[in-house]
Amino acid sequence: MLVERDSLASGSTSKSAGGIRAQFADELNIRIALRSLLEFEAMAEEVSFVQDGYLFLLDREEDVASFREAVALQQSLGVPSQVLSPDEARQLVPQLVVDDLLAATFCPRDGTATPESVVQWYARESGARIVQSCAVAAIDVRDGIVCAVETTRERIATGCVVCCAGAWSSEVAALAGVTLPVEGIPRSMWFTPQDGGLPEHLPLTIDFSSGFYFHREGPGLAFGGRDEDVFEAAARRLPVLADLPLQTSWWGYYDVSPDWNALVGEAAEVSRFLYATGFSGHGFQQAPAVGEHVAELVVGKTPTLDLSPFSATRFAEGGARPEAFVV
């Protein structure tokens, strides 16, 4: 049973850029991506999954070194990523300014999908009972064991709870006396009604040092960045963008953990209080593999992927596990 205080996908998921990539630095994130890609590829048509690739643009020596290392790791795991020269990057996106670039990386299996469609796909396929407009108000824990969830509509007797409340997960966890270090950090996106003549098959392109990124969105472009003042970096890297009108914008929360990697597992304080949150900008794309993992934890099956390194206990144990390639 899934309870959602608003409507399905109304949280960060509907604000996401919909990016899906295997180009990570952390091996576990690459494995999660490979597992999730199989699912996205299977539902591709229904969720508009377009595999035009991810293109990372690199203008700092230290980034070139870490991306080269990561591409070697990705390739060893079966990811078809590669290091490109600046000129090769411009062949993919001719409107880019590449004079100051040192290198780029590209993976043709990466792409974008429509997050709300993915949520609807799971809602339909899961067979779960879904109750919208229903907020979790309290979690009844006795002797360290979950007994029930009090919602604004009904009391649900249960011996197992999964906290997947995104940027609001720390508040929901606190209802059970569990500490989850998740913080909501706002991120904005802007949309143009035209594409400025960019290629039909446009990779999701990320200017890694500034954080400016863009991808195709219908007849126009979507773009965003780490800061509100992304416009200067955008105009420098993709001058054509500065000539396009803005149609709309939105913002949403990144659900950020202290090391910018997911929090997945069972609470140390309360038995059968499971959590999947803190995805820090890559939570939409990790949903298939992480969702499968949580389902396995619920029914006590041996996990397909060992995600125990993502336990929230890692911070107390001095084992932070940073993901380097975050935007």
Q: Which of 106, 97, 71 is nearest to 204 (CA)?
A: 106
37: contact with ligand FAD by CB under 6 A: no
Cβ-contact 49, 37 below 8 angstroms = no
Q: Please say whether the beta carbons of 189 and 251 come within 8 A.
A: yes
Stretch in the footprint of ligand FAD (CB under 6 A) among 23-31, 45-53, 161-169, 193-201: 161-169
Residue 48 touching ligand FAD (CB under 6 A): no
Q: Which is nearer to ligand FAD, 12 or 210 (CB)?
A: 12
Please tell me whether residue 24 binds ligand FAD under the rule CB under 6 A: no
Q: Which stretch binds ligand FAD (CB under 6 A): 95-103, 237-245, 251-259, 299-307?
A: 251-259
SS3 239: helix
Q: Scanning residues 173 to 202, which ones bind ligand FAD (CB under 6 A)?
A: 187, 189
Structure tokens given for 7: 């409507």
Q: Which stretch binds ligand FAD (CB under 6 A): 10-18, 43-51, 95-103, 306-314?
A: 10-18
Restricting to residues 203-242, name those near ligand FAD by CB under 6 A: 224
Q: Which amino acid is at 19?
A: G
Query: What gap in Å lies between CA 203 and CA 198, rounded to an integer?
Result: 10
Residue closer to ligand FAD by CB (options 67, 122) is 122
Please compute Rg for the chain using Cα positions: 20
16 binding ligand FAD? (CB under 6 A): yes
Six-digit token pair at 147? 């007994």
Q: Is residue 178 left, alpha or beta, with left meaning phi > 0 and alpha meaning psi from -120 to 50?
A: beta
Q: Using the rule CB under 6 A, is 281 a contact of ligand FAD?
A: yes
| Torsion angles phi and psi, residue 249, rounded to 5 | -150, 165
Asked if 314 touches ligand FAD (CB under 6 A), the answer is no
- From 203, 252, 265, 288, residue interacting with ligand FAD (rule: CB under 6 A): 252
- Nearer Cβ to ligand FAD (187/272): 187
Q: Which one of the spans 5-13, 55-63, 96-104, 311-319 is the region binding ligand FAD (CB under 6 A)?
A: 5-13
Whether 136 and 150 have beta carbons less than 8 Å apart is answered as yes
For residue 302, give the DSSP letter: P
Binding to ligand FAD (CB under 6 A) within 78-137 occurs at 135-136
Q: Of the listed pieces 42-50, 80-88, 159-167, 238-246, which binds ligand FAD according to CB under 6 A?
A: 159-167
Distance CA 70, CA 4 (A): 37
Nearest CB to ligand FAD, comparing residues 15 and 98 = 15
Q: 277 pairs with which residues across the strands?
A: 263
The three-state secondary structure class of 64 is helix
Interface residues with ligand FAD (CB under 6 A) are 3-6, 10-13, 15-19, 135-136, 164-168, 172, 187, 189, 224, 252-255, 277, 279, 281-285
